[in-house]
Amino acid sequence: MKLELRNITKRFGTLVANDDISLTLKPGEIHSLLGENGAGKSTLMNVLYGLLQPDEGEILIDEKPVKFYGPGDAMAAGIGMVHQHFMLIPVFTVAENVVLGHEPTGKIGNLDLNAARKLVKEISDRFGFDIDPDAKVQDLPVGAQQRVEIIKSLARNAKALVLDEPTAVLTPQETDELMDIMRGLAKSGTSIIFITHKLREVQQVADRITVIRQGKVVASPSPKASASELASLMVGREVDLDVKRKPVKIGAETLVVKELTVLDDRQHQMVDGVTFSVHDGEVLAIAGVQGNGQTELAEAILGLRKIHSGSIEVAGQDVTKSSVREVLEAGLGYIPEDRKKDGLVGEFSIAENLMLDGSFGAPFAKGVQVDFAKRDEIAEKLIQEFDIRTPSAQTLAKQLSGGNQQKVVVARELGRELKVLVASQPTRGVDVGSIEFIHEQIISARDAGKALLIISTELDEVLALADRIAVMYRGRIVGIVDSKTTREKLGKMMAGIAA
């Protein structure tokens, strides 16, 4: 099947989200769509999937124009989409999930699960997916769940697959497996649109690359282009992916975590006897695949989550049993992994968000009254210092782009006196320009002699920032290694194989 998007234009009011975009997908081709957040990739894919109607332009399948009024139409035409967030029902088996919505039925309209099982088995065997049709989805690792999503599309005879940021949740090994699967699918004639912001992966699998910037196709570089070339095309200017750091004298242990054990809400042991310390003037990065206890570790340090056993010290003060407010007052800064949930109040202005944890006293409050003049003065200053792109300090946080939202969080935490910064996924869902900027801010805090704990699932980020790297797997620290450790070795550690 040959799929073509021809001169697609999609406007929202005065904003042109897709401006005359043309894209061809040949049979058996892996076509990588590269662009920053907000470049128009999602809009284009929503047009392709029938969720949005284009204002101009058309979609052609095998040179014939088609119109999709909903995902049903797109699926019927042979287009499958694997979303970043899986659309699976955890308590159903693989077979049940795969046939959901188009269940094979027996003579009297009864559900024919055997047919479903056979279908899953057949597809799984054909592409070497190694999926048991009777396994419950909730018991499968993330990588396998993703394969279930792909099977779901293939079971509906998808000829063209759209994979939206498929590697965000995978270990390096799982990522490699996915790449193999993608190549296998392509060989069998399925074409793939591969959306990602990870340049390394693009270089590995893409047959063709299209770069989108501000709603327009800006280039179709060769798959052999270098990472910095691709990054520059994406951002539209020269990008320096290396962060410059000064040599700093390592100081005292300012964050000390000893034998820490933390349970999650379902009483599962998520952090299991973790011990480490972070010195002044040092970045300790915690690497690991999402869901190996990093979230719970960060929450426990802040005091959001009760500690089962072990101890935490911030700047010499025991904060094991302290409330969040006491931990913050002890000099800890916190950048949560999910800024929309824990870091910002979307309905609040930037100025209000910048005082979120400062409502208890100076400089933001005079007695029990908010000091509005001071608040706005501080906001203006931080907006300048942290390069927050906004019409004004009174703009609501939810109206900012992801990168600028994150800069608000970073500005709030680094903008006050602190001794330790704990940052979870500091650049998740953030554009390249903002990543550069936030990394610079983190490193300059390190250069200023602060202790930093960075938790990240992106190996690139870990390698760019860390002085030392601790790898977490199933709630334990597999090992603490220096920043010169190879990617391969870190990948193995992330899969639980000790160094």
Interface residues with another protein (CB under 8 A) are: 12-13, 15, 17, 38, 43, 51, 69-71, 85, 302, 304, 323-325, 327-329, 334, 336, 341-348, 352, 355-357, 359-360, 364-365, 368-370, 372, 389-391, 395, 398-401, 404
Quote the least distance from Cβ 136 to another protein, whole Å. 23
Q: How far is the CB of 286 from another protein (least distance, A)?
A: 19
Cα within 13 Å of Cα(294), Cβ side: 27
User: Shortest distance, CB of residue 372 to another protein, whole angstroms?
Assistant: 8
Compute the half-sphere exposure of residue 21: CA atoms within 13 Å on the CB side of its CA: 34
- Output 108 or 368, the one with its CB closest to another protein: 368
Residue of 464, 421, 409 lying closest to 280 (CA atoms): 421
Q: Residue 329 or 447: which CB sits closer to another protein? A: 329
The nearest distance, CB 343 to another protein, in angstroms, is 6
Cβ-based nearer residue to another protein, 85 or 484: 85
Residue that the structure tokens 């029990």 belong to:
368
Q: Is 41 or 117 the residue whose CB approaches another protein more closely?
A: 41
Angle formed at CA 126 by CA 122 and CA 131, multiple of 5 degrees: 65
Please state the closest distance from residue 269 (CB atom) to another protein, in A: 23
> Residue 268 or residue 360: which is nearer to another protein going by CB?
360
What H or E segment, with its residue span, contains residue 146?
Answer: helix 142-155
- Contact by Cβ (8 Å): 202, 223: yes
Closest CB to another protein among residues 12, 62: 12
Select 227 or 304, whichever has its Cβ closest to another protein.
304
Nearer to another protein (CB atom), residue 243 or residue 324: 324
- Residue with Cβ nearer another protein (216 or 258): 216
- For 336, list phi and psi in degrees, rounded to 5: -75, 160
Nearest CA to 134 among 96, 90, 100, 105?
96
Please give the single-letter amino acid code of residue 391: P
Q: Residue 494 Cβ, how far from another protein at the closest point, in Å?
A: 27
Closest approach of Cβ 16 to another protein, in Å? 9
Report the alpha-carbon distance of residue 426 to residue 88 in Å, rounded.
28
Closest CB 163 distance from another protein, rounded Å? 17
Rounded to a whole number of angstroms, the minimum distance from the CB of residue 399 to another protein is 4
3-class SS of residue 158? coil
Nearer to another protein, 181 or 350 (CB): 350
Tokens of 87: 């659309």
CA distance 493 to 499: 6
Q: How far is the CB of 70 from another protein (least distance, A)?
A: 6
CA distance 344 to 389: 16
Angstrom distances, CA of residue 106 to CA of 98, 116, 243, 431:
17, 11, 62, 51
Kindly give, in sequence order, each residue whose CB lies less than 8 Å from that of residue 227, ignoring residues fewer than 6 positions away: 199, 200, 203, 241
DSSP code string of 422-474: EEESTTTT--HHHHHHHHHHHHHHHHTT-EEEEE-S-HHHHHHH-SEEEEEET
What's the Cα-to-Cα distance from 103 to each of 89, 95, 155, 444, 474, rounded to whole Å?
15, 10, 11, 57, 36
Residue closest to 322 by CA, chosen among 303, 300, 343, 342: 303
